Amino acid sequence: MELWIPITIAAAFLQNLRSVGQKHLKGVMGTTGATFVRFGFGLPFAVLYTVLLNRAGGYAFPAISAEFLGWVVVGGLMQIAATFLLVHLFSFRNFAVGTAYSRTEPAQAALFGLVFLGETVTAGTLMAIAVSVFGVMLISVAHAALTLRNLVTTTFSRTALIGLASGTSFGVSAVAYRAASLSLGGPTFAMQAAVTLLVVISFQTLIMALWMLARDRAELSRIAAAWKPSLFVGFVGATASFGWFMAMTLQQAAIVKALAQIEMIFTFASSVFFFKEKINRFETIGCLLIVCGILLLLVVD
């Protein structure tokens, strides 16, 4: 088994834990604060991983280039934009369609990988991505009064366009992070990923902190009051991102993001076994499609 596969699965599991933690924080702070903690409280762990690789692992710090910083800025800003667009969808009554289209990130990452990095994927890989993306889209609309026909015909609705924009932003950020990490050129994929994470998360922390200082200082107090759960979110978030960056240094962003759809399986496993929630037919079909897409991806890749 190629190393990027278990790394991606572990990152998806940790991201699921981060999402659970952020949902909890939404009860004590706003969207901006819940988004910030994944960066601000993840920063110390990003520093720790980088220092450990340098001191304990003996890996030298790679040289930082203008190309690297350019990709970091693009990736960091696009990830923030994608997150805000996704959260903004929940203010709409019919947000299900938009959420479904935001899940097209792997397919869009394949396109941006071709445009920006000249990377191509095989027909089998594209089919695997399409199957898993469709499965996630089915899950997203499982509880909405929608049919497949409605899903297609509402492509140009406001929520669908916001969802597509979110997926686009996530896709661009994933490709930008891969480009940034690869531009470092060594000394090892883990050190490249750690340095990329450290610089990205520092940049995002600074941007969001300045935003709150200028627009919502009360949010800073709410974040400080909830520092313990915020620290947990920061830890699992930074560790998940470290996993994503390592995987995307080893493999194309589109393929990594396609396998990352396994996060939905973890989410439903938690819902069924821990919260005793029932899943409906569309959710079941969606989960099966995700599994089929992942198996196909592993076979053809």
Reported as a single tens digit per residue, the pLDDT across 144-192 is 665 666 656 556 677 778 888 988 999 999 999 999 999 999 899 999 9
Most confident of 139-148, 211-220, 273-282: 211-220
Decide: 189 and 129 in contact? Cβ < 8 Å: no
| pLDDT value at 127 more than 70 | yes
Higher-pLDDT residue of 137 and 12 is 12
Give the whole-angstrom CA distance, residue 12 versus residue 90.
Answer: 22
Max Cα distance, the chain (Å):
57
Q: What is the pLDDT of residues 210-262, one digit of tens each?
A: 999 999 899 999 999 999 999 999 999 999 999 999 999 999 999 999 998 88
Percent of the chain at pLDDT above 90? 52
Query: Is a pLDDT exceeding 90 seen at residue 199?
Result: yes
**Which pLDDT band holds residue 62 (cuts at 50, 70, 90)?**
very high
- pLDDT, greater one: 18 or 156: 18
CA dist., res. 277 & res. 268, Å (int): 9
pLDDT for 96 equals 59
Of 29-33, 165-169, 204-208, the poorest mean pLDDT is in 29-33
**Prediction pTM value:** 0.87
What is the residue-averaged pLDDT of the chain?
A: 87
Q: Which domain covers residue 177, as residue numbers?
A: 4-300
Name the pLDDT band for 33 (thresholds 50, 70, 90): confident
pLDDT digits (tens, 9 = 90+) for 255-268: 999 998 888 788 77
Residue 98 has pLDDT above 80, yes or no: no
The pLDDT of residue 52 is above 80: yes
* Percentage above 70 pLDDT, the chain: 88
Supply the pLDDT for residue 155: 60
Task: Give mean pLDDT, residues 86-101.
Answer: 67
Number of structural domains (the chain) is: 1
Q: Among 35-49, 50-64, 280-294, where is mean pLDDT lowest?
A: 280-294
Contact between 144 and 96 under an 8 Å Cβ cutoff? The reply is yes
Q: Is residue 269 predicted with pLDDT exceeding 60? A: yes
CA distance 195 to 293: 32
- Contact 223/29 with Cβ under 8 angstroms? yes
Angle made by CA atoms 198, 40, 238, in degrees to the nearest 5: 50
Confidence class of residue 279 from pLDDT cuts 50, 70 and 90?
confident
Residue that wins the pLDDT comparison between 152 and 61: 61
- Whether 134 and 289 have beta carbons less than 8 Å apart is answered as yes
The pLDDT score that the predictor gives to residue 27 is: 79
E runs forming strands in 51-147: none
Q: Label residue 88 by pLDDT band (50, 70, 90).
A: confident
- 3-class DSSP state for residue 206? helix
**Of all helices (H) and strands (E), which one includes residue 246?**
helix 227-250
